[in-house]
Amino acid sequence: MWCESAWLGGDGVADAVRVEVDADGTVVGVASGVPAQAGDVVLSGVAFPGAANAHSHAFHRALRGRTHDHGGTFWTWRESMYRAAAALTPELYEELATAAYAEMVAVGWTSVAEFHYVHHQPDGTPYGQGDSGPHAMELALARAAVRAGIRLTLLDTCYLAGGFGAPLEEGQRRFSDGTAAQWLDRLAALRATVSALHPAHQVSVGAAIHSVRAVPEDQLAVITQHLPAGLPLHVHLSEQPAENEDCLRATGRTPTALLDSYGLVGSRLSAVHATHVSERDIAVLAGAGAAVVLCPTTEADLADGIGPAGDLRAAGATLALGTDQHAVVDPWLEMRALEHGERLRTGRRGHFEPEQLHAIASLGGAAAQTRPGAGFRPGRAADFMAVDPRSARTAGSSREQLAYTATGQDVTGVVVGGVLVARDGVHTTLGRPADLLVTAIARLDEAAQREHEPGRSPAGHSREQH
């Protein structure tokens, strides 16, 4: 691969950078000031390490621009999310996820941690008891990622309750395996199936606890005892003040303290959001070597609040970025929103230097997926995104400060594992992500409309069939 220019971390931007990549998509050599050779993938503009998206719900992409009537809250947004989830089939989900992942790679995300909990049929019946085989939803996501050319860490999620001491709601039935033991059994079977179908550098399986409100304490104990070592473990944590209040009322502890009491806060844990963690929570997370996945544009869109990114970093926590509900899918805007959030929170500028922002977007996100990070040095993943330094947004910018000015619209090329997957916003094999999204969302809308036709149950089947 040959780059017109490339950002080499602490060494700044160099010109005419050639990167040698092995068959596994790993960097084996880097030289600057050299010409391109025949057959090289050529990236124009300034190339940077590819971004690693550490938190995604692919089907949430169908909600963009639809949940703002009369303001709304996180909780009213959640009802719209449940309606979309109820309409998903493996076929519809594969189509929508393919489009969502194509949108991601076109702007520079080269890997994604998919926080996945739509496991079963809408009535809670597992797949594999009809036309679709076992793990139908999970394998649909894997196929979507392969088609889009993005590395996937599929975080299979345990989701058992509707809240502290509350049963599942109607829209949550398809998320649940009933018990943690049954979830662990399905997780083990899924890992075996995926590893037989896909190399780990392309698709791997991790684990997630949806939240402390969705997994009762006795089930947390089962997970602590039996979750296989080495798997990344993610959890939604302290996203809303109401979550903290409910947890304190039910257990006498914050969500972080509750997880810690069961031995679940450790170096493999990634706490997603952590918007409303206490000083003590921050110390516990950082002291255990946990990662914190911040999703600044989602947290702004849902009015969750501004997370304590600076305090987390100062305490020693590893930071990563995610797009979560995909109100925005752009690593450049997520990086900038992280810095802007700290400026708004403190009234001061300059909290995260460009080198730190790129490290969070790339190395932090990869660490949360237990993947090798991308970069211009041997042993790193050959995942890169290049931007035009002469666009209407970036013209006049220092090349080292493009993190403060570039957007996904400026991305000229994206490489994953040494393979060019997108150029100038167009996917090399799938075409324009916008076209894919329009078609996929329209099909999901049609399915959702059929769900609410008279004579049909919430599961999407006629009442006579039940």
Strands 419-423 and 426-427, bridge-based pairing:
antiparallel
User: Using DSSP, how many helices (H) and how many strands (E) does the chain show?
Assistant: 14, 16
Instruction: Give the H/E segment covering residue 39.
Output: none
Q: What is the pLDDT of residue 130?
A: 58
Confidence band, pLDDT 50/70/90 cuts, at residue 463: very low
**Structure-token pair, residue 310:** 């600076």
- pTM (2 d.p.): 0.95
Is 12 among the domain residues? no
Burial class (CB in 10 A: 0-12, 13-18, 19+), 453: exposed
Question: Shortest CA distance to 21 belongs to which of 379, 387, 351?
Answer: 379
Q: Write down the catalytic residue from 156, 260, 324, 330.
A: 324
Instruction: Give the H/E segment covering residue 324.
Output: none
**Structure-token pair, residue 131:** 């036309």
Confidence band, pLDDT 50/70/90 cuts, at residue 461: very low
Comparing 275 with 451, the larger pLDDT belongs to 275
Q: Mean pLDDT across the chain, nearest whole number?
A: 94
324 is catalytic: yes
CA of 63: how far to CAs of 56, 213, 352, in Å?
13, 24, 31
Is 164 among the domain residues? yes
Confidence band, pLDDT 50/70/90 cuts, at residue 132: confident
Q: Up-side HSE of residue 255: CA atoms within 13 Å toward CB?
A: 28
Q: Write the pLDDT tens digit of every residue in 35-78.
A: 999 999 999 999 999 999 999 999 999 999 998 887 777 777 88
What does the DSSP assignment read for 325-375? T-S---HHHHHHHHHHHHHHHHS-S-SS-HHHHHHIIIIIHHHHTT-PPB-
Query: Helices marked H in 112-179 — which ranges?
Result: 136-148
Q: Residue 325 belongs to what domain range?
A: 45-446
Is 113 among the domain residues? yes
Is 34 among the domain residues? no
Q: Write down the catalytic residue from 273, 276, 358, 427.
A: 273
Number of domains present in the structure of the chain: 1
410 is catalytic: no
Domain containing residue 314: CATH number: 3.20.20.140
Q: Write the pLDDT tens digit of every residue in 177-207.
A: 999 999 999 999 999 999 999 999 999 999 9
CB 328 within 8 A of CB 334: yes
Is 452 among the domain residues? no
